[in-house]
Amino acid sequence: MDREQVVAKPKARGGELWDSLRTLVYAVLIALGIRTFAYEPFHIPSESMLPTLLVGDYVFVSKYAYGYSKYSLLFSPPIFEGRILGSAPKRGDVVVFRWPHDPSVDYIKRLVGLPGDRIQMREGMLYLNGEPVKRRRVEDFERRDRFGNLVERNQQWEETLPGDGRQPAVTYRTLDLYAYSGSDNTGVYTVPPGHYFMMGDNRDNSQDSRVALEVGGVGYVPADHLIGRAELRWISIEPTASLLKPWTWFSALRWNRMFTGID
């Protein structure tokens, strides 16, 4: 008995176009789902988080770390209030959040104060609930140009936020650019319920919660403005690279920072 041979009929041009369009729609939906519920990439444009994050770092931010608010969604639709399906952030987390003055603007800072905490700076030292946060002097932070020449040297400190029953101590590094800056001495900030206190690791070059919202600072950040926790640098590029000059891309990559965790 002859074996029956089955031959697939070629698809009409309209069918091929529909298949391609459907594949594109699926890919977009998957990308939006990952961005909304899992991880979102962010680019670091300023020096406020030196030495932890450099200009040109690209980081992945965990969206599920703190759950979801309307700001987790594309275009921030007001379909619900507060946060859902999340846990509270911890002191020492590096957090991406929406600027309370203009929620279309993203900021990245380190969370140093939880609701009810009292925060103060005295002579450049951070105080938490009346106690100085432990810190020690480490080697200077050196800025070099793309040829390796030393451009600037700044004091660097290792700071450790104390742990408690909920979390271990967190250690990271900060910069002190100026001996007597206006941000080295402040009043006492008492973090209100449902808000957080954010500071840049580059202590003398950061518009953060030490500066009132009314004068262009960050102020206290509401819980629903948190986007997520920065967890991974996936690529880092020197600002000298030019999009219009592809031959500069490879030499501008900071290979030692790629796919590294964020403390």
From the candidates 48, 69, 206, 209, which is the catalytic residue? 48
Contacts of 230 (CB under 8 A, 6+ apart): 42, 53, 59, 60, 61, 62, 94, 95, 96, 108, 262
Q: Is 48 a catalytic residue?
A: yes
For residue 137, what is the enclosing H or E element? strand 134-144
> Residue 62 pLDDT > 70, yes or no?
yes
SS3 223: helix
Contacts of 123 (CB under 8 A, 6+ apart): 184, 185
Q: Is 70 a catalytic residue?
A: no
> Residue 222 pLDDT > 70, yes or no?
yes
Per-residue pLDDT band at 74 (split at 50, 70, 90) = confident
In tens, the pLDDT along 225-256 reads 999 999 999 999 988 777 777 777 788 899 99
> Residue 8 pLDDT > 60, yes or no?
no
**Residue 29 near residue 184, CB atoms below 8 Å:** no
From the candidates 63, 70, 90, 109, which is the catalytic residue? 109
> Residue 2 pLDDT > 60, yes or no?
no
In tens, the pLDDT along 135-175 reads 999 999 998 776 778 888 999 999 999 987 778 999 999 99
Per-residue pLDDT band at 115 (split at 50, 70, 90) = very high
Calculate the average pLDDT of the chain: 89
Q: What type of residue is 198? A: M
State the first-to-last Cα distance of the chain, in angstroms, to the nearest integer.
72
And the tokens for 127? 């105080």
In tens, the pLDDT along 185-221 reads 999 999 999 999 999 999 999 999 999 998 889 999 9
Q: Can you list the domains of the chain with their CATH numbers?
A: 41-261 (2.10.109.10)
pLDDT at 244: 73
